[in-house]
Amino acid sequence: MKNIYLTFIFLLIICSLNAQKIEDVRINRYVDLAATIGESQGSLSGSYVHNWKLWKKRKWEAGFSVRWSSYFGSKTEFITAPARLARTNTTPFLIFFAGQRKESQDTLTVQRPYTNSVNLAINIGYNFNQKWSGGFNIDLVGFTFGRKSPAILTSNGETQTEPSAKPASFNLLLTGDHDLGSLNSEFFLRYHINSTWSIRAIYQFLFVEYVTQSVKQVAPDGTMVDRFRNKANTFGLGVSYHFKSIHNL
């Protein structure tokens, strides 16, 4: 008798909880898979996104995501990474508009780069109507692991073998060439097939960093440099599965 009573109470609680849940249209949660391709390089990425729709009209949305980005290439050129050697002006944000310091940049040609990055990212988007939306996202902080690869450092017209360059392990967004590690960012246009599925057209800008272990660049100021960055501009497609967000009244 006691068991029947407990079962009844349990069912009552479940029913009452379900009765108090409604779909929350203020939240856009989804998982996304994307693939992009560029010259001798490409990427695959997967992310979980949680966005809040903003203000009364809920046209704008913003939020966070966790993104895994896998980058691969063949004979990809990485250039001197530290901002003070790469740019003429290193003031944060103004660095975007600064010129390149070609005279202090060397090239590391990584033969078989392959990295996996897991980063926390921020997103912003705008819903044009029920079918179309657009947005931007960028990685903030995370870590990278990947394959060591032979590389060739070309410095002052001379070539040297780096037997085993490795991916930089720590990622941090600090604006422009101040950034550390591998960071992914995307501009995208989305088409909603239905309330669950959508597809995206993507322009991706992906920073990937490799570190040399044996050979170093000797910078004009005499410092030794072991960080080299590839800036991949790629285009691709993504597909998203949108969850129904349930809200307790």
Q: Smallest distance, Å, CB 212 to other proteins? A: 13
| Residues near other proteins (CB under 8 A) | 74-75, 111-112, 150, 152, 158-161, 163, 215
Q: Smallest distance, Å, CB 234 to other proteins? A: 18
CB closer to other proteins, 50 vs 112: 112
CB closer to other proteins, 35 vs 152: 152
Q: Of 170, 175, 115, 123, whose CA–CA distance to 145 is shortest?
A: 115
Q: Smallest distance, Å, CB 19 to other proteins? A: 44
Q: Which residues pair with 217 in a beta bridge?
A: 225
Q: Of 204, 197, 193, whose CA–CA distance to 230 is shortest?
A: 204
CA distances from 176 to 81, 89, 90, 180 (A): 10, 11, 9, 10
CB closer to other proteins, 31 vs 33: 33
CB closer to other proteins, 163 vs 220: 163
Q: Smallest distance, Å, CB 16 to other proteins? A: 47
Q: Are 85 and 92 in contact (CB under 8 A)?
A: no
* Residue labelled with tokens 């941090």: 172
Span between the terminal Cα atoms of the chain, in Å: 33
